[in-house]
Amino acid sequence: MKRFIVFLMAVLCFGQLLFAQQSAGTKSTSLPDIFITGSNSIHFISPENIQYVDITSHAVAGDLPLKNLLRLKMKPDTIQAFKSAGEYLGIVTIVGESFIAQYNLHFIDNPTFPFLAQINILPEHSRPLDIPGMSLTSKEMQAYAVRMMEAKIGRPKRSAKDFGIQARLNNVFTAGDYVFLDISYFNDTNLSYQIDEQRFKIDDKKITKATNVQSVEVKPVWQLYNIQSFKKHYRNIYVIKKATFPGNKVMNIELTEKQLSGRMLTLKLKYGDILRADSF
């Protein structure tokens, strides 16, 4: 009797362990099936920027023509090795900013097969991810930026002017671990402004000795537009990680022009401007 009870307890424990393992993961048989031919490409459209892709088959090549677009195509020198209809190629894993999606990939030796040429990555085909250091996705940043662009512009919080170019800090907002900067530029000259680069640097307010200058550059993690030049007016939303700097320092936002003109304009942002920022 004791042996039977011990055996029954062991079976129950094994069943619980097996159930836990099954519920904690996703079986390959439950993944969506995607078919590919030797003469056509498949495009996966992601709702977010794609961070990582894994293709288990060496017969399939993939690239990212756009940040949210994955293209898959069979390698020409491997097509002859796959002649069976519906032959299994492996799993395609796509990781976005907040999700992971996986698909079973099958080869079809029929160029007229009605396969899906465009595949939208749907919520039911993905699982959420908590990626460290990323509290907002690019889609969420874009939504906040559009709201800022639609908001009424009042008196600028900061402004600067030189060489016929004027800069205005319209608004400062915060969301999560990010700071949104709404900046407008105006060109009062008849010479269009060819943008070389825009830099965000934390510098000392007063420079006593050139050897003691400490400058820390802050790279924007996202921006609404990627414009290379403007003639009269330019407005953009820049997103930076929250940065803490003391009162004896200032954030210099530098807009520089391509040579030969080489005009440069610096807009100074104080830490108090960030502390007084509104939140979404």
Phi and psi for 38 in degrees, rounded to 5? -80, -15
Residue with the bigger pLDDT between 30 and 113: it is 30
User: How confident is the model at residue 27, as a pLDDT?
Assistant: 83
Q: Name the residue type at position 164.
A: G
Q: Which of 20-24, 66-70, 133-137, 180-184 has the lowest mean pLDDT?
A: 20-24
Q: Residue 133 above 90 pLDDT?
A: no
> Is residue 194 pLDDT above 90, yes or no?
yes
Q: What tens digit of pLDDT does each residue of 154-170 get? A: 899 999 999 999 999 99
Question: 63-68: which pairs have CB atoms within 8 A and are 24 or more residues apart?
Answer: 67/138
How many angstroms separate the CA atoms of 131 and 248, rounded?
Answer: 34
Q: What is the pLDDT of residue 245?
A: 75
Q: pLDDT digits over 5-19, tens only? A: 544 455 455 555 444
Mean pLDDT within 35-51: 90
Q: How high is the pLDDT of residue 13?
A: 52
Q: Which residue has the tokens 């690239």?
A: 63
Q: What is the mean pLDDT of residues 22-38?
A: 79
Q: What does the pLDDT read at residue 251?
A: 92
Residue 21 has pLDDT above 90, yes or no: no
| Calpha distance 45→269 (Å, rounded) | 38
In Å, what is the CA distance from 72 to each residue of 57, 58, 60, 66, 85? 11, 12, 7, 13, 19
Per-residue pLDDT band for 136 (boundaries 50, 70, 90) equals confident
pLDDT (mean) for 121-149: 85
Banded model confidence at residue 22, pLDDT cuts 50, 70, 90: very low
Q: Give the mean model confidence (pLDDT) for residues 37-60.
A: 91
End-to-end alpha-carbon separation of the chain, Å? 67
Question: Rounded to an integer, what distance in angstroms lies between the CA atom of residue 106 and that of residue 204?
Answer: 60
Q: Which two tokens stand for residue 38?
A: 């030797």
Instruction: Supply the mean pLDDT for the chain.
Output: 84
Whether 274 and 246 have beta carbons less than 8 Å apart is answered as: no
- In SS3 terms, the chain reads as CHHHHHHHHHHHHHHHHHHHHHHHCCCHHHCCEEEECCCCCEEEECCCCCCEEEECCCCEEEEEEECCEEEEEECHHHHHHCCCCCEEEEEEEEECCCEEEEEEEEECCCCCCCCCCEEECCHHHEEECCCCCCCCCHHHHHHHHHHHHHCCCCCCCEEEEECCEEEEEEEEEEECCEEEEEEEEEECCCCCEEEEEEEEEEEECCCCCHHHCCCEEECCCEECCCCCEECCEEEEEEEEECCCCCCCEEEEEEEEECCCCCCEEEEEECHHHHHCCEEC
Domains and CATH numbers, the chain: 30-128 (2.60.40), 153-279 (2.60.40)
- How confident is the model at residue 20, as a pLDDT? 44
